[in-house]
Each structure stands twice: as structure tokens, then as C-alpha cells.
Chains A and B, each alone.
Chain A
Amino acid sequence: MSLTNLTAHELGDLLNRREISSVELTEAYLRRIEEVDGQVRAFLTVTADLALKQAAEADGKRARGEKLPPLAGIPMAMKDNMCTRGIKTTCASRILHNFIPPYDATVTERLLEAGAVLLGKCNMDEFAMGSSTENSGYFATRNPHDLRAVPGGSSGGSAAAVAAGEAVFALGSDTGGSIRLPAAFCGVIGLKPTYGRVSRYGLVAYASSLDQIGPLARDMRDCALVMNVIAGHDRRDSTSAPLEVPDYTKFLVDDVRGLKVGLPREYLGDGLDEEVRGWVKRAAETLEKLGAVCEEVSLPHTRYALPAYYIIAPAEASSNLARYDGVQYGLRVEADDIVSMYSKTRSQGFGEEVKRRIMLGTYALSSGYYDAYYLKAMKVRTLVKRDFDLAFEKCDCLLTPTSPTPAFDTGEKTADPLTMYLSDVCTIPVNLAGIPALSIPFGTVRGRPVGVQLIGKAFDEGTIIRAGYALEQGTDLTRPRPALERTVEEWASSTKP
């Protein structure tokens, strides 16, 4: 048994039975990071000393007989766009290379209060703009299942860390698919909660009407346990929903009898890898065998979601990223006058894709183009949302592929930004509608994991957690473990990048 393969709830049992200590567990994860992260490159910062201190605190409380919550003493990682007090938070951008937040994001605060142990901060596409983690201002992360492949993005470091046994679970953020795509590519579970379910306080903003934080985990129970900690109203985020949060573990019931699952035909059309289509079909059959009822539905505006997203998200980003001006924090490039200082700082601090999106958004919002682009996109957003509303009159949840293909090769899509954007075609509509969705591994294609996506009604994460749990219990396809179990030597010889 290797500690770096197990789930949080399995490790929690070992901790509770005093078979291991949190310090031992944390040391095992730090060792694993040392062994494999030279190849995977999931972490931007490893907080070894702090992690061991937190682990010792958890052990101390346990030794004193305190009753600890489920994630106490469990080593985890966070995407580097969530503020961690006293720990560098760079957003994988040169412009924040030296930024040390003076406060914790709400999710950080809640995880630490729950006793989770922070191993470090994970790599990502700069400012969460990208689908492969190749847009990091520091280095690209690799897919632990095949080092030639990308891990997906933008939460690629978080997904790769969980898949490679470098963290038990991790947090990511999802604006257009940035939790679900890397989850699918790396063979782990990723949940994007309903917009407003998890506080965005302390999350560095990309597109504020779309951003949402969620877990990357090894199984559905861990996913539910993390949600129990991070979900809930927060008065410091005015878009946080003032609603009661259920105990998500209550939805881990192996029963989907009568559940109505819609299969949107627009997600299963042209451009879908035939083997991925096969796995989605098999997931539908698995749910049917367990008593769910699958039926075809239509979301006719699906094809318009991606172009609408690439107007709305850059428009919001162009405004959000105006704050990086070399005055209050981050990089400053000196110049004689203030406008040159702004321009030089931003030109040297931002990477190519971030500049592209800032300019795209500035253009879409500029006088003369606002109605044609931004207003049009917001109207299309209404239609995309309405499609989902109509589908949910008939269905409890929807089943789609998370991505039309498994992970692509490093460098395959970097030359053409539009081709890269199309990687998110199955995930983006969900963000526009603000509804929850999760990606769960289901089979592999040519050795690379495939994810299927379950989409739910607003604030009904419970139903997709229940459907995901049924898939997990009904098959052995949802935990592609090779990347976790391979020794470093086997790994290095089998997949030379």
C-alpha cells in the first residue's frame, strides 16, 4: 500500500485508527513531490516547512483526543490564483512574481480551519487563461499519464498533482472549463459548483461573472468532503449565494433509479473522437443498467456558446486586469512618466495570451463595437441559459463528454489560439449558464484518460454527485490509476517526453 494512492477518506480512516500520523503522511507526499515533480512540474511553490507544522498540529490535536473534521491532517494543494497569507501567489504570471498576499482567500481559510495541510501552490495557465497549462509564465506542466501530453488547463498543475500522487486533493478554478478539462485529461474528478456556491473572495479575478472555485479529487466521496468545507455564503463576496448548503456526502447513495438523464445531441455530433463517443455511450448504458432513464435532448444554441464566451470573458478580463499597473503590488518597470511606467510594466509582466485577451476584451467593449460584440454576446448568453432551463424541465441532469478528445500533445495547439479555444467547447456553455458540472474519468483512449461530464441544475450539485457516485460504484472505469502506481523508473522509461 502506498499512501500516495489513497483517497482522503481512506487516509482519514488510517489517521483515526492511529495507523499513521499526519506528519508521516505529509512526509510521504513531500517525498513523492521530490521524486516526480521534476517531470510533472505541477508545483510553482512547495511549502514543506509549513505543511509539516500544520501536520504536527493536526497530530497534536488528535493525540489530545480532539474530534477532528474529515480533512484534518490531509495534505492538499491549491491553484496559485487563490490567496494564501504569507505564501507567494503568482497566478503563474511574471507580473505577480513577488506578490505575497497579506490575507487568505475564504477557501484557504476554510480548508485550514478544517485542518487540511497545504503542500503548495500549483501551476496554471497565466491568470487562468488557457486550456493546457502551457501558458504559464514559468514552465509547462505535463500529464502524469503520458508526459508527452498536456494536463489540460488552466488548473493543470492541480489536476496533475492529484493524478501523480503529489496531493490527495486540490482546489482549482473554472471560468470556461478550467477544472473539468484538466480533470478529464489527468483522469481525476473535477467539480465546478454553481456560480455563487463557493466564495470567490481572495480568488484572483479573471472573468468575474463566470469564475468559480471547486475540488479536484480521486473519488466522489473526497469531492463531496471538500465541497462540504468550501461551499457556503460569504459576506465578503457579494455574488456569494445566501443559501443553505446540504451535506454533500448525503448524495453518495448508490441509487439512480428513475433519474432522468438527458443526452444533448449537439455534444455528440461532428468533431467528437469516435472512442470518446463510445465511452460516453457506455457511461449512459451504465447509468441505465442502474435504473436511470436516458433520453436525447437538444440544446440548440450550443455552438454559439464558445464565440459568446470569448467576448464576455476577455471583456471582463480587460477590466479586471487593469489593476496590474506597478503601483500597489507586483512587478514595476521604472520609467520617467506614469503612463510609460504602466505600459512597460504591463508589457513585460503579461504573457502573450493574456495580452491577446486584454486586447480582445478592450476591443469588444470599445466605442462603436460594444453593441456588435459585447451586447450581442450577452444576449446569446441568455439563449444558452434558456436551452438548459428547457432541458431541465424534462431531465434531472445531462451527460456529455468533458472534451471532444483525450489530452493532446504538448505544443500541438500553441501556434493557433483559436484551435486551443475549441478545446473547451463542451465545458463553456455551463459557465455561461452558471450551473454546476463535474467531470469523472470513464475509460481511456490510447492510454490517455477520458472524462464524461455530468451537468446539473443551479444549486443542485447533489444530483450530479449522486450520478457520479453511481458511475463510480457501477464500474471500475472511474479511477485510472497507472499514473499513481507506476514507479518513477518505469515511468521515465515508458514515457520520454
Chain B
Amino acid sequence: MRISAQEVEHVAMLSRLELSDQEKRKYAETLSAILEYMEVLNRVDTDGVEPTAHVLPLKNVFREDRLEKCLEKALVLANAPEEEDGCFKVPRLV
């Protein structure tokens, strides 16, 4: 499966990445080589095989819905690039 520079641009947009034209061409090349290598998987007969998303036989893990000790607000905000009135601040949305 080859992937074009245009498709790379689309995937980059979905990934919230900006790429230069040169980067797009380069990624198209390396991603195509990787995707072509993956075609070997088509040779495996997986009819009737259940997918494995996770190896442990664990189901949902529940706990009591009770307030527990958590981080102080100041600590939560300590790494924020910008904050105001105890909230994370972001550029205008609308």
C-alpha cells in the first residue's frame, strides 16, 4: 500500500500536526515502505480468530464511588502554560 504526500497531509491534519512539503514527501516515502512491509499480514489466515486487544483476563475493575484524596488544585495547575482563576487558559475558541 503506497501513501501519497496528499494522504500524509490528511493524516497529519487528523493528528494535529503541521508538516512542510519536504516533510510530507519524506513521510510519504517512509510510511509507504512500512505499510508495504505490513502487507505480509495478508498471508495469515485469520478467519474465525478472535482479536486480542489485551492479554490479561481482567474485566472491568470497579471501586466504591467515594471521594478519595486527590492532588491539590495548585499542584494540578503548577505545570500549566497559562492559567487564570484556578483554570487552564486556552486561546479563544469561537
Q: Give me the interface of A with B, judged by CB distance under 8 Å.
A: 98-100, 102-103, 195-196, 209, 235, 238-239, 241, 301, 303-304, 307-308, 310-311, 318, 322, 325-332, 334-339, 341-344, 346-347, 350, 355-356, 358-360, 362-363, 366, 373, 375-383, 385, 416-418, 421, 432-434, 458
Contact = CB atoms under 8 A, between A and B. Distances in A.
Interface string B1-19: 0010001100110111111
B16 A366 contact: no
Give chain A's interface secondary structure class.
helix
B17 A379 contact: no
Given A103-B71, A238-B61, A308-B41, A332 B56 contact: no
A358 B55 contact: no
Nearest to A237: B61
B79 A366 contact: no
B65 to A, nearest CB: 14
Given A239-B56, A355-B17, A375-B51, 9 more contacts: A196-B56, A337-B92, A344-B18, A359-B27, A360-B31, A378-B53, A380-B46, A382-B51, A383-B46
B41 A339 contact: no
Contact of A359 (B17, B18, B41): B17
B61 A336 contact: no
B63 interface: yes
Max chain B CB contacts within 10 Å: which of A98, A356, A362, A432?
Answer: A362
Contacts of B17: 343, 346-347, 350, 355, 358-359
Contact of A307 (B37, B76, B93): B37
A338 B91 contact: yes
Task: Tell me which of B8, B15, B58, B82 has the highest count of chain A C-beta atoms within 10 A of its own C-beta.
Answer: B15
Nearest to A208: B54
Interface residues of B, number: 48
A356 B27 CA distance: 7
Interface in B1-52: 3, 7-8, 11-12, 14-19, 27, 30-31, 33-35, 37-38, 40-42, 44, 46, 49-52
Most buried by A among B7, B50, B56, B80: B56
B80 to A, nearest CB: 6
Interface in B67-93: 71, 75-76, 78-82, 88, 90-93
Contacts of A328: 79-80, 88
Main secondary structure of the interface of B (DSSP, over half): loop
A303 to B, nearest CB: 7
A209 B16 contact: no
Contact of B90 (A209, A311, A327, A375): A327
A304 B51 contact: no
B2 to A, nearest CB: 12
Contacts of B7: 363
B50 to A, nearest CB: 6
Contact of A102 (B52, B54, B71, B82): B71
A379 B78 CA distance: 43
Contacts of A355: 15, 17, 19, 27
B50 A338 contact: no
A106 to B, nearest CB: 15
Given A103-B71, A337-B92, A342-B16, A304 B56 contact: no
Nearest to B43: A304
A453 B43 CA distance: 28
A376 B41 contact: yes
A195 B16 contact: no
A381 B52 contact: yes
B52 A359 contact: no
B46 A418 contact: no
A373 B38 contact: yes
